[in-house]
Chains A and B, each alone.
Chain A
Amino acid sequence: EAQVTQNPRYLITVTGKKLTVTCSQNMNHEYMSWYRQDPGLGLRQIYYSMNVEVTDKGDVPEGYKVSRKEKRNFPLILESPSPNQTSLYFCASGQGANQPQHFGDGTRLSIL
């Protein structure tokens, strides 16, 4: 089954404790991206990747890091999380930015 898998689905943690949200896709897609969803703000792109070792900033990259060492994986790293990063996060993949995106089920992060 074609899917994008995010883990964990839920996480409550404390300020400053490094965390990683994993994202994996099994569709051989070149394009992967991360979004955060906040009330009233819609979905905002954090980072995207056109291919292995090629990543670029979206609209809200501050406080986040990503890496794309393998085509199927695109982890989101919060090196020093802060409460303003409390949000619902989605990973997505597609053949390209101009193609339909497949989204993971989301990760709800709470930073205390």
Chain B
Amino acid sequence: AQKVTQAQTEISVVEKEDVTLDCVYETRDTTYYLFWYKQPPSGELVFLIRRNSFDEQNEISGRYSWNFQKSTSSFNFTITASQVVDSAVYFCALSSYNTDKLIFGTGTRLQVFP
């Protein structure tokens, strides 16, 4: 069975702090895909990143970076120098080559205070 665990329910930081959102996944498949989505207070869901299981290279996009480690089944998301606009619920998700399901974690609510 596939599973995504986001153990951090809520995180509060002050602007300019760095923050890491954890994501741990479970799957028996060797080919799988990991995603992060953002849900700001306005409610829409916005795609951030997709990673496949064969690409463990970390990725950086501006203040956002992602650390994919197969050895620990983790796909963590770091925001550097957080801003108030980063306040949102962030979801990690998993799909695999052998199934057409998309499994989401329970989400982490990030609050960035000025």
Task: Note all chain B residues with C-beta closer than 8 A to A97.
Answer: 95, 99-102
The reply to whether A45 and B101 form a contact with Cβ atoms under 8 Å apart is: yes
- Chain A interface bracket (under 10, 10 to 19, 20 to 34, 35 or more): 20 to 34
Quick one: given A42-B91, A43-B91, are A100 and B47 in contact (CB under 8 Å)? yes
> A42-B107, A96-B100, A101-B47 provided; 19 other pairs, C-beta below 8 A?
A40-B9, A42-B91, A42-B104, A43-B45, A43-B91, A43-B93, A45-B104, A48-B101, A50-B100, A56-B100, A59-B103, A88-B43, A90-B45, A97-B99, A97-B100, A98-B97, A105-B43, A106-B43, A106-B44
Say yes or no: is B64 at the interface (Cβ < 8 Å to chain A).
no
* Residue in contact with A58 in the complex, picked from B35, B46, B50, B101, CB distance below 8 Å: B101
Question: Chain B: residues with CB nearer than 8 A to chain A?
Answer: 6, 9, 33, 35, 37, 43-47, 50, 52, 91, 93, 95-97, 99-107
Q: Given the complex of chains A and B, what is the CA–CA distance between A44 and B100 in angstroms?
A: 14
Quick one: given A42-B91, A43-B91, are A103 and B45 in contact (CB under 8 Å)? yes
CB distance from A105 to the nearest CB of B (A): 6
Task: Note all chain A residues with C-beta closer than 8 A to B97.
Answer: 98
Task: Note all chain A residues with C-beta closer than 8 A to B104.
Answer: 35, 42-45
> 15 A-B contacts, Cβ less than 8 Å apart?
A33-B102, A42-B6, A43-B91, A43-B104, A44-B104, A56-B100, A58-B101, A88-B43, A90-B45, A92-B45, A98-B96, A100-B50, A101-B35, A102-B47, A106-B43
Which of B6, B97, B104 has most chain A Cβ within 10 Å?
B104
Q: Given the complex of chains A and B, what is the CA–CA distance between A41 and B97 in angstroms?
A: 25
User: What residue of chain A has the Cβ atom nearest to residue B31's Cβ?
Assistant: A98
Task: Note all chain A residues with C-beta closer than 8 A to B33.
Answer: 98
Bits for A23-48, please: 1 = Cβ < 8 Å to B, else 0: 00000000101010000111111001
Say yes or no: is A84 at the interface (Cβ < 8 Å to chain B).
no
Nearest 7 A/B pairs, CB to CB:
A42-B106, A103-B45, A43-B104, A100-B47, A97-B100, A98-B33, A97-B95
CB distance from B10 to the nearest CB of A (A): 11
Task: Note all chain A residues with C-beta closer than 8 A to B37.
Answer: 101
The reply to whether A98 and B95 form a contact with Cβ atoms under 8 Å apart is: yes
